[in-house]
Structure 1
Amino acid sequence: MDADREQDTQQRAGYRRSAGSPRGEARRRELLDRVTDDLAVNGLVDFSLRRAAKAAGATHKVLLYHFDGADDLLKQAIQQLRDRRTDKALAAAAEEPARRTLSARVRALWPALTGTEARVLDQAIGLAVFDPVRYADFGAGASRQYLPILESLCPEGWAERRKLEVAEMVLGVLRGFLIDVRTTGDPEAVSAGFEALMRALDREEAAEE
């Protein structure tokens, strides 16, 4: 990706960006959808402007017309993958009646978090660890997006501080489970840990009764 970044710097001035017209925005969304679909299948390894152009059925010049280089395109595609996963998780959690427990709602969204986007988004977190300045949005941005969702699953009567604390715990633990699935290949161990988290959430909720 570094080679693409350098090439972008040299060439960007030669291409004008999409001005945000309806037609230009529609084309940008079409290109982004195609690149995002490619990322979902092939991951971030060896991502480049050349590969993105091939996936989009366009040239790198066309991509540079609509996006501010390879990093910008990658960030927007990662955000789109994250949005897809968030939409699925919210839909799954919404199917749980409000009277159900917090653990039941977290259990309902777990399959959505382990879907097709999970592998690529785990790789994005790895990039954030490797280069926190360049890829800060891949780490902190994900937390900012997911925390409000997890807070919304908490009982309404809880104080906002308590909701945040529990949401932070759930996010950290689930993120660890996702990484364990990728690195250890031991789903049974992850399943055991997940059940322990469910019991912990039940105890947290029961403390108010």
Structure 2
Amino acid sequence: MIDITLTYIRDSLNQHLKNNFTLTENKVVLSNLVENDGSSSREVEDKVVLFLIQLDEETSLKNSRGRGGISGGAFAERNAPLFLNLHVFCCTNFRGPNYIEGLNYLSAIVRYFQQNRILFPAASLGFSNKIEKLSFELCKLNYDQMSNIWSSIGAKLLPSVLYKVGLVVMDDSPISKITPAISGTNENVTN
């Protein structure tokens, strides 16, 4: 689910940038900014880089029950769905004379999420119907938090923005119990 969600966001942003800047190539890539050995990745040069930095559970929905009706009036029980928030980082990796181009793309992305605070991926042609709705919330980071993130990534500071993307539903748990429907009546019941 996480990969499907991030791929959908990447594709949506690429389409938005193509429409606004008459681009023919994709400018948004879903990738690490830095390779595991600490070297800079070639595939992210002059690109907008999108990557996951954290995920957490949406605790306000934690106590929902995993029970639903099935055929014949019976009930199926399973583990409750897991509602996730993804913290997605988006940075522009443009250097030298292309720096301003990267800032233009970052501005367009912020405008896109401002205009589309909620997206409905299931309505998209050919997209998995397991994700009904995604919401986007701009996260504010102070200088210490920003410094910690860039230190953890192992890269130099780049123009960037962090969004909290909620609610990605993980609901693939198997049925653990089936409770049959009550059938028939007992006519010998006394008052």
Same-fold status (TM-score > 0.5): no
Q: Could you tell me the TM-score, scaled by structure 2's length?
A: 0.26
More strand by share: 2
Relative contact order higher in (CA < 8 Å, ≥ 6 apart): 2
Q: Which has the larger radius of gyration?
A: 2
More helix by share: 1
